[in-house]
Structure 1
């Protein structure tokens, strides 16, 4: 299924890509990588749901990059909005009003649940979570933060310590006031649950025990991905999110919903918390707010927390808070999503195409242990044995088996999102049905490779 040099891809473009790769290897320091053995793929063109690599090969982007290009690549309305904004105000300090930021804040506030009507803009998701925690700590006067294992909240100092996956370990010296708890994750239950009802009851009991034993008077916030993303897209079982909201309200703890990856239509609703009709006290966002066309994140703030800072200065800020180019991109992205009904389409794609197809693949391939998700937000968990649920790669690592599966996906013509023993199916929300079915056929082909690593 791999496509050779496309007619739109010129020899000059490929040559420029080779120069870029040489300069990258000479000067660029990459995130989350050992620099020596890393050989990054060059991308020379993007369009819609497709990208072209440095050799001119066309690849279906079923990763949405880092699950952020929710409207696909090079959406003309957003490109035009960025160009128009650049012609008037490219940048302005955050203490000044600019129309792009004002309109973006209004549109986001109209979409957030409940009374989250005030918007603080950041440069991305990590600093959104850092500022949300700071707001909660100042508002409550309490320092501890509860966060789940198997989570990701960002790469900056506090955000990575709040994170509950192995990326935190190298930087975590246990001095940042973070206490981790076990999440509700039925497939790999920490509570020996066999049903959703058991998992919900036992996970909430564990969380309440943690709160009581840590001392509610010391806990300022609980931060939780509404649907964990890079940690596994494990959708919370029925009743769990409502129970978390009840516990945080009961013990006077600020609930921060991390919607950085799950928000802006990714999970088939504008925000994933809408699946449970709950309203957090703070909601963080980034990625899909403008599909990553210009870096942008933020915190949606409840009226109660906003009132804390009516007469008391908020102790934080950023030079680029509410950057005009980023906010103009957000305005255009949200309007395009509304006009083209992308959120509704995300829900349809999940219910009618992705979910049924993955269920069939699970029945067909012995390497598939679990499939789960909603909207355009799905995970395929690979195992070497369906009965024992032995993961095809260890937690926090990879394996020759997963490397072979990833290679098969790329050979088939896909740019995949692979993490540990999982393949994430996270296409743009406006991908065509035909392209999506093509991608699922590529996945079917690659899973045959995974089947070769299954043991009795």
Structure 2
């Protein structure tokens, strides 16, 4: 960060943005995005020198923190060697990246197909499942987000699917959400049991002979950080086995340290057939994603052409950023830090806020992956209004915290390198802003 503030650069950045940049998921005329000029660890700043704790991790992807020197160095060194290479070639850095990824995958996962991000990772996993089974249909939950490409957006369950339903062969079901149960459950165990029964009835009703895959976020992220209740994911695995359906676990947001584990599914007694990833694998320093294939599915294409590819699959700069990131995460105990911070700092701190603020209906999460669900009334669980959420978001930003606010929730999703002191500062800001909101 420069010692000399340059507020005129913030003005120029806003002018250029409004004149020339078309933003995603937005009505363009209403936008007033904050300007970010730099960052380090869990902190970001603008050209004028204003600083914020980044408790959004941008789009829940900067797991290793901003400007980690090992990752920046790896990108620089690769840029000096070879900046780009066709995916049809063999590149040492690509093999090294794949080796590091599969080292953290379950036994029986030896191959990685690299993509440009999470959406096309899910797109290609769906393609692989369809080719492996010879079936077309994909089941996914209503509370989900899988990306904004053809099949991935139709697999998505939220409102963004509806104006984009061009792909075929998708059906949706309700996953578990104990706080707002679709199944009139009164315990997490009952929620899991009833949600599994519902899924089995959907499989039977849709026709298992035509279903290629069940696609699930291991821990649904944008939909609310919905930690699966005990037994649910193992039960989905059992249903997939019973009906000979491929199980795809979307670890795009939940993977690579976010839950305090390398993969979120490591905590849930389940092994999928295909694993999709992006975001945390290199903290978004260079766009990248991919599919980790079970050896069984990978073998399908030993002598049969896989009909998919991307010009930038396994791009050298992205591969170098993966190598640098995973090596640093291992050496510095960053995944372990995420687990410890969740157990010792974020979890207890949020539960303390819940005990004191009637606006909080529930807190839930693990690692550095938490949600504060806000309600206007605890008895009815009515979601807090959009207007009130807008004021809360503004209050957090004004007090020096960059938040992730979705619907009636604040997602507490700092980088995996966040410290206990930084969590304490953030909790104090949440406390102040909620107190103001409750006073009206």
Task: Give me the TM-score of the superposition, normalised by structure 2.
Answer: 0.98
Residue of structure 2 equivalent to 1:403 = 390
- Is the counterpart of residue 342 in structure 1 residue 334 in structure 2? yes
Quick one: distance in 2 between partners of 1:264 and 1:429? 9
- Is the counterpart of residue 222 in structure 1 residue 214 in structure 2? yes
CA offsets per residue over residues 409-431 of structure 1, 9 Å max, x none? 01111000000000000111111
Decide whether the 8 Å contact of 2:220 with 2:226 is kept in 1. Answer: yes
Quick one: distance in 1 between partners of 2:142 and 2:334? 31
Quick one: distance in 2 between partners of 1:109 and 1:101? 12
Residue number among 384, 387, 392 corresponding to 2:379 in the alignment: 387
Decide whether the 8 Å contact of 2:153 with 2:160 is kept in 1. Answer: yes
- Is the counterpart of residue 8 in structure 1 residue 2 in structure 2? yes
CA offsets per residue over residues 123-181 of structure 1, 9 Å max, x none? 000000000000000110000000001100001121111001111111125x5211000
CA offsets per residue over residues 297-351 of structure 1, 9 Å max, x none? 0000001101110010000000000000001000000010000101111110001
RMSD in angstroms over aligned alpha carbons? 1.1
CA offsets per residue over residues 40-89 of structure 1, 9 Å max, x none? 11111111111113542101001100000001100011111100000001
Decide whether the 8 Å contact of 1:256 with 1:281 is kept in 2. Answer: yes
Residue of structure 1 equivalent to 2:234 = 242
Deviation, 1:191, is 0.2
Residue of structure 2 equivalent to 1:449 = 436
Decide whether the 8 Å contact of 1:41 with 1:54 is kept in 2. Answer: no
Quick one: distance in 2 between partners of 1:202 and 1:254? 22
Q: Secondary structure at the match of 2:285?
A: coil
Decide whether the 8 Å contact of 1:114 with 1:279 is kept in 2. Answer: no
- Is the counterpart of residue 331 in structure 1 residue 318 in structure 2? no
Residue of structure 2 equivalent to 1:87 = 80
Matches within 5 A, 1:407-422: 407-422=394-409
List structure 1 runs of 4+ shifted beyond 6 angstroms.
Answer: none
Residue of structure 2 equivalent to 1:183 = 175
Residue of structure 2 equivalent to 1:304 = 296
Quick one: distance in 1 between partners of 2:345 and 2:88? 46
Residue of structure 2 equivalent to 1:424 = 411
Unaligned 5+ segments in structure 1 are 1-6, 394-398
Deviation, 1:388, is 0.4
Residue of structure 2 equivalent to 1:259 = 251
Decide whether the 8 Å contact of 2:249 with 2:275 is kept in 1. Answer: yes
Q: How many residue pairs are counted as aligned between the two chains?
A: 440
Deviation, 1:9, is 4.5
Decide whether the 8 Å contact of 1:18 with 1:54 is kept in 2. Answer: no
Quick one: distance in 1 between partners of 2:5 and 2:348? 41
CA offsets per residue over residues 4-52 of structure 1, 9 Å max, x none? xxx834244x333322221111111110111111111111111111111
Unaligned 5+ segments in structure 2 are none
Q: Secondary structure at the match of 1:59?
A: strand
Residue of structure 1 equivalent to 2:125 = 132
